[in-house]
Amino acid sequence: MGQKPSKVHITETDKAILQLKRSKDEIHKYTKKSDRLIAIEKDRLKQLIHDNPKTYKKDTKVRFLLKKIHYQEHLLQQASDQLINLENMVSTLEFKMVEKEFVSGLQTGNEILKKLNAEFKDVDKLMDDVQDQIEYQAEVDNALANSVVGTNTFEDELDRELDQLDKEVNGLPELPTTEGLPAFDNRQKEKNEVERINNPQQNTEIQRKKEEALPA
C-alpha cells in the first residue's frame, strides 16, 4: 500500500497572507472603479460650473461634490496605507506577537472597503437637498478636516480648485476691446516726429507762417 500524502499544515501567517491578497485584489478593483466614478463626478462638476458661472462658488451642490471627490480619493489612500501596514506586520519574524493587531488592522481595512463600496451606489444621483444627507456630509467634512491642516485652509484650496475648473470650462475672462474708439495711427505720429527732428529749418518756417496768420 502506498503512503498517504502528508497533510499540508497551514500556518496563521499563511492565512494572513491569503487575507491580504484578497484585500489587495479588492483595492485594485475599487481603484479602477473609483477612477471612473471620479471622472463622472468631475464632468458633472464642470457642468454645474458652466451652468452657474457667477454663483458656482456659493452653490452648496458644487462645493459638496468637490468634497465628495476628495473624500473618495482619501478613502483609497487610507485603504492602501492600511494594506502596507498589514504587509509589514506579516513580514516580521514575530508575527504571533502582532497577530491581534493584524486582525484589528484587517477589520479596519475591511471597514474602509465597505465605505468605498457605498460610494459606488447611486452613482448618477446628485442630492437635490444636501440637508437630507447631513450625516454623510458630516462624515466627509470630518474625514477631510483631519487629513489637511485647518478647515479654512481646505476651503481656500477648494476655492482655488474651483477657479481652475472655471477657467477650463468657461475660459479666461475677455479683455476689453478698442471697438468704437477713435483710431490712432502711431506710425504717422512717429513719422512726423522724425521729420521734425531732421528738418529744423522747415519747422521754423511753418511756425513763422502760423504766427503771421494770427490777427494783430
The alpha helices in the chain, defined as continuous H runs, are 12-51, 60-91, 99-119, 134-147, 151-170, 186-198, 200-213
Return d(Cα 154, Cα 132) in angstroms, integer.
24
Return d(Cα 66, Cα 52) in angstroms, integer.
15
| pLDDT at position 18 | 80
Mean pLDDT value across residues 182-203? 55
Return d(Cα 106, Cα 79) in angstroms, integer.
10
Please write the tens of the pLDDT for every residue from 33-84.
Answer: 888 888 888 899 899 889 888 888 888 888 888 888 888 888 888 877 877 8
More confident residue, 175 or 25: 25
Return d(Cα 162, Cα 174) in angstroms, integer.
19
Q: Which three cell numbers stand for residue 169?
A: 470650462
Please write the tens of the pLDDT for every residue from 118-133.
Answer: 665 654 454 445 455 6
Q: Where are the domains of the chain?
A: 12-118
Mean pLDDT value across residues 104-131? 63
More confident residue, 141 or 43: 43
In the structure, what pLDDT confidence band is assigned to residue 106 with cuts at 50, 70 and 90?
Answer: confident
